[in-house]
Amino acid sequence: MVFLGGPRQVGKTTLSKALCHNQFSDGVYFNWDNDEDRRAVLHKQWLKESSLIIFDELHKYPHWKQWIKGIYDTKPDNQEYLVTGSARLDVYRRGGDSLMGRYHYWRLHPLTLDELPSTISAKEGYQRLLTLGGFPEPFLAADEREARRWRRERFDKILREDIRDLESIRNIQLLSLFIDALRERVGGMITLANIAEDLQISPKTAKSWLSVIEKMYLAFPIYPYVKNIPRAIQKPPKVFFYDNGDVIEKNGVRLENLVATTLLKRLHFIEDYYGYRCSLHYIRDKEGREVDFLTQIDNKIVDLIEVKNNDSDISSSLKYYSQKLKPKNTIQIVGELSRPYHQDTILVTNPIDFFKSPPWENG
């Protein structure tokens, strides 16, 4: 089986139906949100000859893991399954009745600079990604007013339907305020206790809610890298949003969020396709030396990345940690930079040039 996870409206259903039309002409598509499809799924009403069965949003069925395990263990040899969901489906990490060995997990992300339609230039695509985000519908429509309406409707559906179906959160309104508080703090260290005090909830609840929005692919935390860093900051995460349009723009924060989502997408691809363990971090020590991003693959530091909106002078912190950690690549990404250059082992470049090639072309 293949489990396909990712944010709501990122294109999982479109991709699933395209598989039926293009590669599996005898494939069958079921959507759990459709009453007729749901009844057919529960009664196992599909042909044995069908080579692909797609179960869209199956995770909304409370007993889906045990159900799909039973289906898989009794399936005909010719039949394969695709299960999609707008919440995390990597169930093997959560223990219990494991599905390990029965499926591969893939994560679908919004569009990025290395995945633009051929009709859109890199420069135009970059501006759309900054202002509209990479979700296909608002990105392709290229209309800021429609993008705002789409974003509000998507957010309401996640809060009123997806989270309600999967989590026992009583006060959805407070959760909405919690997410707004994170939007205002993108790129900065998040002290959950302070947000909890402002909203009059417990720090434990704030931590739980952060886990919920991560599970629902609304936002993701990254944590400080502490190995080999004396006096490193150890606890506070930073939070970034999958939809770049969710970020409240100030001082180039959307550029930093765009870099974070692109790096995470590449690391997820390396994990899902090649099987390496990957992680994304930031660095900060108690002397205030900070670098925005550090990527790690199989416990080896690959990229050390600082993001600037228009400052092409190399960050002193980037120089310091580059010498100390000796990563494979050290990069300063500058939003408004016309001419990339090298200084010693550090590359100063713009986001378009840095992200233009897919990760599989870079080895």
Q: How far apart are the first and last CA of the chain?
A: 27
CA distance 281 to 294: 5
How much is the average pLDDT of 259-274? 96
Q: Based on the fold, state whether residues 88 and 171 are members of the same structural domain.
A: no
- Do 96 and 124 lie in one domain? The reply is no
CA 61 from chain centre, in angstroms, equals 23
My answer on whether 18 and 166 are in the same domain is no
Query: Same structural domain for residues 205 and 132?
Result: yes
Task: Over range 71-84, report the average pLDDT.
Answer: 94
The last residue of a domain, from among 46, 73, 107:
107
Residues 151 and 275 in one domain: yes
pLDDT at 88: 83
**Residues 207 and 329 both lie in one domain:** yes
Reference 244, options 133, 326, 86; nearest CA is 133
Quick one: pLDDT at residue 173? 87
The residue whose two tokens read 């692919």 is 217
* pLDDT of the residue at 360: 61
d(CA 223, CA 176) in angstroms, rounded, equals: 23
Sheet strands side by side (includes 28-31)? 28-31, 52-56, 80-85, 2-5, 104-107
Q: Which residue has the tokens 């079921």?
A: 30
Does the pTM of the predicted model rise above 0.85? yes
CA distances (Å), origin 252, targets 47, 144, 245, 296, 326 = 53, 18, 13, 25, 27
Is residue 215 packed enough to be buried (19+ CB in 10 Å), middle (13-18) or exposed (0-12)? middle
For 142-154, the pLDDT digits (tens) are 999 999 999 999 9
Structural domain range at position 181:
113-362
Total number of domains in the chain: 2
Same domain as 71, residue 200: no
| CATH number of domain containing 28 | 3.40.50.300
Other beta carbons within 10 Å of 243:
25
Which of these three, 107, 133, 160, is where a domain ends? 107
Do 102 and 122 belong together in one domain?
no
Q: Is the pLDDT of residue 164 over 90?
A: no
Pair 138, 95 in one domain: no
* Residue 40 · residue 32 · CB < 8 Å: no
Last residue of a domain, one of 75, 107, 139: 107
